[in-house]
Amino acid sequence: MKSLEVEQRQVVVIGAGPSGAIASALLKRNGHDVLVLERQRFPRFSIGESLLSHCLDFVEEAGMLEAVQAAGFQTKHGAAFASGERYTEFDFRDKFTAGKGSTYQVQRAHFDQVLADEAARQGVEVRYEEEIFAADFSAARPRLSVRRLADGHEYQVECGFVLDGSGYGRVLPRLLDLELPSDFPVRRAVFTHIEDRIDHPAFDREKILITTHPEMRDVWFWTIPFSNGRCSLGVVADAKRYQGRDVDLEACLKQFVAEAPSLARVLENAVWDTPVREINGYSANVKALQGPGFALLGNAAEFLDPVFSSGVTIAMRSASMAAGLLHRQLSGEAVDWENEFAIPLKRGVDTFRVYVEGWYDGSFQDVIYYEKASDDIRRMICSILAGYAWDEKNPYVAEPRRRLRVLAELCAQG
């Protein structure tokens, strides 16, 4: 690295998304010096608009709940699923694990800004439009190279620890050669915001609606209503399912919606007023979640799949765990990052993984619509859908693979 001015800090957090905002605020609340470096100017668009109730536990821990409650987001109480004429819903207020029963559906530009502003209000220094482009972990104190985007000025920061909350930027996985391909197939999401004008009597604005394509069970749609009469709408399908379809993204999304009559009915009055976007091959993995001088948070580490809206919850859970451990380390305690961070974090992520796999092979979809499931079983499944995937008291968390298999066999018997 060429010689540049070197700033000295205690902790640097890469990215001011949900993981970075929560981690930095939690560290600051424990009296540590934290610098957040964020490449973009906020507010900025981000996908991931339907939250799970568990993520509000971390918003509360970081002292940001009041600000989020005051922001006017759409309340969310659960998830509804539709497939052909089948419909079922899970209400987060009626679940196995104690914890929050409600959450929000949020425009992420606004939500992320609320969190980052709250972190700043609590004393965290957040620098926007500053990008990390190189990292050197060979010495005892890691050194990051930063570029100020406004004028190209470059400088370095040396610190005691780096938390990487860079999301799809995947800064340290790229710079430290930690990237690992996901073992999920390449899936593509095509999505937009619409003025929804929904007047369908069965539609519940306080739930995300997940609709399965009637002929292709691995293709599904999200409908996430906001509090301002608008909705986020998207389709997710294996990249191969797009072959032969219109290359124009709006036409492509409209065609998919037209193929799902129950969804087309819900959206029949919608005004399509926003450019349609896409994300291709969103799943990602890493070789390690931590190493000397760093830990990876949220999407910078692993991203499974959007189907259960778990991304922000995992991001915040990883932020809370890492901030707690780093506080102990900075207070002079020895911390075993693999056993206290990586392994327990992955346990919950792996629980979600089982149900994501079950969603795409159809077994978990059968379970979701299974009419004979007892109330207790539905409450246990509801806990996972609400984000409580680390609650080992829940048998569907403790033994997800075996439990799902047994239930799927029961469903198959009718």
Minimum CB distance to ligand FAD smaller for 208 or for 267:
208
Contact 386, 98 (CB under 8 A): no
Kindly report the length of the chain. Answer: 414
Contact 81, 369 (CB under 8 A): yes
- Residue 315 touching ligand FAD (CB under 6 A): yes
Cα(27)–Cα(36) distance, integer angstroms:
12
Cα(26)–Cα(319) distance, integer angstroms:
9
- Residue 171 touching ligand FAD (CB under 6 A): yes
One character per residue 59-78, x = contact with ligand FAD (rule: CB under 6 A): --------------------
- One of 28, 32, 39, 230 touching ligand FAD (CB under 6 A): 39
Output the smallest distance, CB 403 to ligand FAD, in A.
24
Minimum CB distance to ligand FAD smaller for 104 or for 373:
104
Minimum CB distance to ligand FAD smaller for 19 or for 192:
19
Of 60-68, 304-312, 349-357, 402-410, the window that binds ligand FAD (rule: CB under 6 A) is 304-312
Cα(122)–Cα(138) distance, integer angstroms:
32
- Residue 165 touching ligand FAD (CB under 6 A): yes
Q: Which of residues 271-290 bind ligand FAD (CB under 6 A)?
A: 279, 282
Minimum CB distance to ligand FAD smaller for 51 or for 159:
51
Of the candidates 169, 127, 166, 168, the residue with the CA atom closest to the CA atom of residue 149: 127
One character per residue 102-141, x = contact with ligand FAD (rule: CB under 6 A): -----------------------------xx---------
- Residue 145 touching ligand FAD (CB under 6 A): no
Specify the DSSP class assigned to residue 223. Answer: E
Chain centroid to CA 383: 17
Strands 154-164 and 294-296: parallel
Q: How far is CA 93 from CA 52, 76, 210, in A?
A: 12, 10, 19
Structure tokens given for 325: 């451990």
Which residues contribute to the site for ligand FAD (CB under 6 A)? Answer: 14-20, 37-40, 46-51, 131-132, 165-169, 171, 189, 279, 282, 297-300, 303, 306, 309, 311-313, 315
